Amino acid sequence: MPSESLENPSLAAAVRWGRMLLIRRFEETVARLLAERKLGGTTHLCIGQEAVAVGVCGAMERRDQVVSNHRGHGHLLAKGGDPALLLAELAGRVGGYCRGKGGSQHVAVPEIGFMGSNGITGGGLPIALGLALAAKRSDENRVVVSMFGDGACTTGNFHECLNLATLWRVPLIFCCENNLYAMSQPVKEGVSAGSPVNWARAYGSMPVATVDGNDVEAVRGAYLRLADDVRRGGGPAFLECLTYRLCGHSRSDARLYRTREEEDAWKERDPIQRCGDSLRKEGLGEELAALQESVEEEITAAVNQAMSSPPGDATLARGGLFAPEETP
């Protein structure tokens, strides 16, 4: 995929559309491979939430760092990750980013600033806080982003980290992907403040923004405004992106807690369709068609590369447990 850093705003927006489509096709491919039993374990897909990943992670500078959550494939791909290496990781192949040992929920690619996903709800928050504190103490002009869902806002980690981040004025953006459900629990039943953003407002003078999480340009704009202040030493900020996952929480989720009418209404707000319709009105239909063809080719190549990589063995699984001995 080409870079987002293009001078023509419309072409740059088209590239972001292509990146969202890449994430969507990647997640759909993962779902298919799971159904075909070519992948093991479970996974949590971000279908429907691609605009948040691209709007935030795609706008970050390479030196910036992001800590993801259990629904993190899109964050990694938007930060510049390679779908072939990510898919190999999910498949437990040695050609994966972590040689197949991290899997879906614990992959990390520090060289591009992707500091790891996390299988624990809210587990990435203190890691991001530590990274932001390190960035401040070393006087690095770096922004750290913590990605989490609305369910994580009900954990102790969330409140402790917002409190400390405000006291220490670290360069950290808390990004809540509010998809209205913490697995099956509606936000209105789990958040006493009504919305996670209301809790965030209680922590000092931290800037807070709520944005349509299905509008990639709105997400990107809100993130860049907050990041500019954070990077200049303004302390932490909180970004709430209102979105919706169009799939289940995981592959075993029958979504009995949601009505099909509600799902159909959100499908009308599909972030990829909305962005594509807008760009086609600007006369970029041919560019989108070319990007779509490129995405399909990239996904096909990713599957071939990932599934041809050998699986890990017991020796690999037991490796890396101890630091190498120092020679005198």
User: The domain that contains 222 carries what CATH number?
Assistant: 3.40.50.970
Please tell me the predicted confidence (pLDDT) of residue 7.
64
pLDDT band at 151 (very low <50, low <70, confident <90, very high): very high
H or E segment to which residue 205 belongs: none
Strand pairing report for 181-182 and 185-186: antiparallel
Other beta carbons within 10 Å of 136: 18
The total number of structural domains in the chain stands at: 1
**Per-residue model confidence as pLDDT tens digits over 126-138:** 999 999 999 999 9
Query: Is 264 part of a structural domain of the chain?
Result: yes
Average pLDDT (140-145) is: 95
Please tell me the predicted confidence (pLDDT) of residue 193.
86
Structural domain containing residue 180 = 45-80+111-287
Please tell me the predicted confidence (pLDDT) of residue 238.
98
Query: Is 176 part of a structural domain of the chain?
Result: yes
Greater pLDDT, 250 or 164: 164
For residue 104, pLDDT beyond 70: yes
pTM for this model (two decimals):
0.94
Mean pLDDT value across the chain: 94
Please tell me the predicted confidence (pLDDT) of residue 2.
55
Query: Is 25 part of a structural domain of the chain?
Result: no
Please tell me the predicted confidence (pLDDT) of residue 158.
96
Please tell me the predicted confidence (pLDDT) of residue 327.
74
Query: Is 130 part of a structural domain of the chain?
Result: yes
Query: Is 296 part of a structural domain of the chain?
Result: no
Question: CB neighbours of 212 closer than 8 A, spacing ≥ 6?
Answer: 218, 219, 241, 242
Please tell me the predicted confidence (pLDDT) of residue 4.
55
pLDDT band at 254 (very low <50, low <70, confident <90, very high): confident
pLDDT band at 259 (very low <50, low <70, confident <90, very high): very high
